[in-house]
Amino acid sequence: MSTFLFDQTVFGPVISRRLGISLGINLLPNDSKLCSFNCIYCECGWNPEKGTVKAVLPSRMEVKRLLRDKLAAMKSEGELPDVITFAGNGEPTMHPDFASIIDDTLLIRNELCPGARIAVLSNSTMLHKSKVVEALKKVDDNILKLDSGIPATNRLLDQPVGKFDLQRVANNIKQFDGQLIIQTMFIRGYFKGSEIDNTTETELTAWIALLQQIRPKMVMIYTIARDTPANDLRKVPEDELETIADRVRKETGLEVQVSG
Ligand code: SF4
C-alpha cells in the first residue's frame, strides 16, 4: 500500500480532520521515518531497517527560521493558521532540541499569530524525560497516544521499538494532571496471524478504566483514513465510534471528539 512521508520541515497549511487549518512542523527527517513506535496503521509506513538510513534532523535554528518565514508570509496574505502542529515523519519528542524548539515556537507564535494554538501529537514514549514533559506542559494541545488499556494490544498495534510498559506510560501521562488530550486509534483486521479489534468489550473496559485514572481534558477517537503499511486492516464504522464516544461520556463524564 502507498504510505507517504512529509518532504519538508514546515509543511502545509493542511486542513486537519481533528485540528482545523494546521501548519505542520516535522522535526524528523524529510526523507525517512523515525519513531519509537512502528504502528501497523502508520500513514508514514514502516520504520526503515536499523542501520540502513542515516536520520538527518533539522536543526533548532533551521526550524526557527522556516517557521518564522512561513508565518510571516501567511500573515502578509491574511491567512493565518488555527494551529501549529508538531507531527510529521515520526515522534517529535525524539528531537534532541524538542524543548528549546517549543520555546522558540511559543515566542514566534506570540509575535506573529497569537490566536493560533500549538499542538503536539506524541506517542507518549518519551515522557520519562523531564524536559519533554516540561515542554509539553507549555503547549495548548498536548495530544498523547493511548491505543488500548491492554499491554499486548498496544504491542500489536503500535509495535514499540524498545521496551514498553503500559502502566509506566500511564503513570507518566498522569504527570500532566489532566492537561492533555488522549488520542486513540480504533481498528480491526489481522496482522501476522493475530486478529486485531480494540473495540471489544474487554478492550473498551480496560481502556475506559485507564481513562478514568488519567482524566484527560478530552479524548479524540478515530480510525484509519488512508493507506496503511499493514494490508489487512479495516476501518471501524463512524456510527460505532459514536457509540464508543457516548459510552465514554456516560461512564466518565469526559469530553470526546470523533473523527471518522
Ligand atoms: S506513533 Fe505515529 S508516527 Fe509513530 S509509528 Fe505510530 S502512527 Fe506512525
**Residues contacting 52, CB < 8 A, separation 6+:** none
Total residue length of the chain: 260
Predicted structure pTM score: 0.95
Residue among 3, 44, 222, 233 to mutate when testing ligand 1 (max atoms within 8 A of CB): 44
Residue 52 has what pLDDT?
A: 79
Q: Under a CB-based contact definition with an 8 Å cutoff, are residues 7 and 1 in contact?
A: no
Inter-residue contact 42 to 89 (CB < 8 Å)? no
What DSSP designation does 78 have? T
The whole-number mean pLDDT for each consecutive block of 10 residues of the chain, a chain of 260 residues, reads 84 80 95 95 92 88 98 94 95 98 98 96 97 98 98 97 94 96 97 96 98 97 93 96 98 92
Whole-number Å distance between alpha carbons of 243 and 223: 14
What pLDDT is recorded for position 114? 96
- All three cell numbers of 14: 493542511
* E strand or H helix that includes residue 143: strand 141-145
Give the three-state DSSP class for 184. Answer: strand
Best mutation site among 28, 39, 223 for ligand 1 pocket (most ligand atoms within 8 Å of CB): 39
Nearest to 60 by CA among 9, 15, 24: 9
